[in-house]
Structure 1
Amino acid sequence: MRRLVGENFARLRKACGLTQEQVSERSGFSQQYLSGLEKGYRNPTVITLFELATCLETTPDEFLRGVTPDKKPDPPSSSLSAPLP
């Protein structure tokens, strides 16, 4: 899921003709955060998605485009998960 959000963020940002630095200036999020988001390393909150969507003049659901019922979400990053048999 993080990867999908990152890919969609990058697509939307580029469609607006903006660099990460420009989005950073407009949104208040650091360029490093935005880079991590695009790479699928960040797990944005709903509020973050709303603020970025506002900055890109779109809606938060655009970050989730391409989700299909067959697509498995990214595994949890927590090491507390029990290993699968």
Structure 2
Amino acid sequence: MSDEVEFLPYEVAQKIVGAVNEEEHLRELDRRVLTVYAKNGKELCWFDAEDILKDIGAVDSKKDETKEKAVEYVLHHIPTWVIEGLDIAE
């Protein structure tokens, strides 16, 4: 069994993702996450916001340009396991 994560094709991610929202981590104070929701509102997965900002080289998380880059990054990194049990037609 491989530990390497496989990602959905970008086009598939665009079809199933309805929103990427920055939210507070449920158990850790002062930690932000980017939660990914399907178009039907179902939570698909989440990413550590600080890690994403580092990966895209962002300094200011409040800029619209940074938010757009973060969403694009997320759409390219949706793990394939999120579609298990998800009706893609939803």
TM-score with structure 1 setting the length: 0.28
Structure that is richer in helix per residue: 1
Structure that is richer in strand per residue: 2
Determine which structure has greater relative contact order: mean sequence separation of CA pairs < 8 Å that are 6+ residues apart, divided by chain length: 1
Please say which structure displays the higher CA radius of gyration: 1
